């Protein structure tokens, strides 16, 4: 006799044994409701979604300059979305195979191209990469790049027409090897960058090194995070340049739109 049967028998004037089969049935029902999940119906269950691997192939790039204008110095300006920077694309090489970041006028010594650019008002820093120049302006509140862009265009055109050296020979001769740069950046990631972003579940990986130009990928909590750009420019760039002062352009290859677990 189970405990429910005994309990009910205390309030019954009939013989307990007459009731026992019925009480056992009730007890069985209670047991079946409380301890066994309903397997058959599963009203809210759905089939497991098929997880596919997303293939990314680089889009076919359009030629930004007409091929029949090779003799002319052609320059296109592309302001960034936040307007603090502008990319200038030139139809001829400026620093083949390398890139260099000039944070101040003093750092431009011996590089006529960059000395000339720093002589313009409102230029804060200059990044030269292959056939492009990225200018960061001092006054971040000015969104219109037309005026400064025209001055930069004139300066570039004059220098390129003179056909003299553009970047200091000292920079080129003292450039570390690609292996040394890779080793230094990996050390920066392991010792400073990743321990720093780990608190937010972030993870930075070094994807590619070409000369002194590097490409990284932001994963974990950094992927898709609204502060990823700030983290990259204020934190990661500084750390990389502290460990490897000769590092040039730093690219982020992260597909932030595909982030599943960003830390906001």
Partner 1 sequence: MPKLNKFRIQIQTGSEGIEEPARFCFNSHVLPLEELSGGTKAGEILEGGYAVGSVAHSMTLIGPEKGTWSLQKIKVDFECENTPPYSVEYPAVELDETTELDIWKDPPLSTFDV
Task: Tell whether residue 219 is a contact of partner 1 (CB under 8 A).
Answer: no
Task: Tell whether residue 142 is a contact of partner 1 (CB under 8 A).
Answer: no
- Report the residue number, 33 or 81, with the smaller CB distance to partner 1: 81
- Which range touches partner 1 (CB under 8 A), out of 2-10, 78-86, 173-181, 236-244? 78-86
Q: Could you give the CA distance from residue 174 to residue 87 in angstroms, rounded to a whole number?
A: 26
Check: CB of residue 135 under 8 Å from CB of residue 82: no
Kind and range of the H or E run holding 86: strand 85-90
Task: Tell whether residue 88 is a contact of partner 1 (CB under 8 A).
Answer: yes
> Of 2, 9, 19, 79, which one interacts with partner 1 (CB under 8 A)?
79
> Of 9, 78, 186, 215, which one interacts with partner 1 (CB under 8 A)?
78
Inter-residue long-range contacts of 60-67, CB under 8 Å, 24+ positions, other chains counted: 64/89, 65/91
Check: CB of residue 232 under 8 Å from CB of residue 252: yes
Task: Tell whether residue 75 is a contact of partner 1 (CB under 8 A).
Answer: yes
Polymer length in residues for the chain: 264
> Of 1, 22, 142, 150, which one interacts with partner 1 (CB under 8 A)?
150
Task: Tell whether residue 149 is a contact of partner 1 (CB under 8 A).
Answer: yes
Task: Tell whether residue 3 is a contact of partner 1 (CB under 8 A).
Answer: no
Shortest approach of partner 1 to residue 117 CB, angstroms?
13
Task: Tell whether residue 152 is a contact of partner 1 (CB under 8 A).
Answer: yes
> Of 2, 20, 24, 76, which one interacts with partner 1 (CB under 8 A)?
76
Please list the alpha-helical segments (H only) found in 108-177: 112-118, 146-162, 169-173
Shortest approach of partner 1 to residue 86 CB, angstroms?
9
In this structure, what token pair is assigned to residue 189? 């990631």
Check: CB of residue 135 under 8 Å from CB of residue 182: no
Phi, psi for residue 56 in degrees, rounded to 5: -120, 120
- CB neighbours of residue 228 within 10 Å: 22
Check: CB of residue 116 under 8 Å from CB of residue 159: yes
> Of 35, 47, 48, 146, which one interacts with partner 1 (CB under 8 A)?
146
Question: Interface residues for partner 1 in 43-62 (CB under 8 A)?
Answer: 50, 52-60
Residue in this structure with the two tokens 């759905």, named with its chain if needed = 46
- Which range touches partner 1 (CB under 8 A), out of 76-84, 131-139, 201-209, 229-237? 76-84
DSSP state of 56: -
- Which range touches partner 1 (CB under 8 A), out of 7-15, 20-28, 80-88, 95-103? 80-88
Rounded CA Rg of the chain:
33
- Report the residue number, 98 or 116, with the smaller CB distance to partner 1: 116
Residues that bind partner 1 (CB under 8 A): 50, 52-60, 64, 74-81, 88-89, 146, 149-150, 152-153, 255, 257-258
């Amino acid at each position: 006799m189970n405990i429910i049967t005994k309990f009910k028998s205390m309030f019954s004037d009939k013989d307990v044994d007459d009731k026992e089969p019925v009480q056992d049935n009730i007890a069985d029902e209670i047991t079946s409701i409380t301890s066994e999940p309903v397997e058959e119906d599963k009203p809210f269950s759905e089939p497991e979604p098929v997880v596919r691997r997303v293939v990314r192939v680089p889009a076919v790039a359009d030629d930004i300059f007409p091929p029949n204008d090779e003799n002319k110095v052609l320059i296109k300006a592309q302001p960034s979305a936040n307007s603090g920077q502008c990319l200038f694309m030139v139809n001829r090489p400026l620093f083949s195979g390398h890139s260099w970041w000039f944070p101040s006028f003093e750092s431009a010594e011996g590089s006529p191209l960059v000395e000339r650019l720093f002589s313009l008002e409102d230029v804060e820093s200059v990044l030269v990469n292959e056939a492009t120049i990225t200018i960061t302006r001092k006054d971040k509140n000015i969104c219109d790049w037309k005026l400064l862009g025209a001055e930069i265009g004139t300066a570039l055109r004059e220098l390129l027409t003179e056909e003299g050296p553009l970047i200091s020979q000292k920079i080129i001769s003292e450039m570390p090897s690609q292996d040394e740069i890779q080793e230094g950046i990996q050390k920066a990631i392991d010792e400073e960058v990743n321990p720093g972003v780990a608190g937010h579940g972030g993870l930075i990986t070094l994807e590619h090194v070409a000369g002194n130009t590097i490409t990284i990928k932001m994963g974990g909590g950094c992927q898709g995070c609204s502060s990823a750009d700030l983290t990259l420019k204020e934190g990661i760039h500084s750390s990389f340049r502290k460990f490897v002062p000769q590092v040039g352009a730093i690219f982020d290859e992260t597909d932030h739109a595909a982030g599943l677990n960003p830390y906001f």
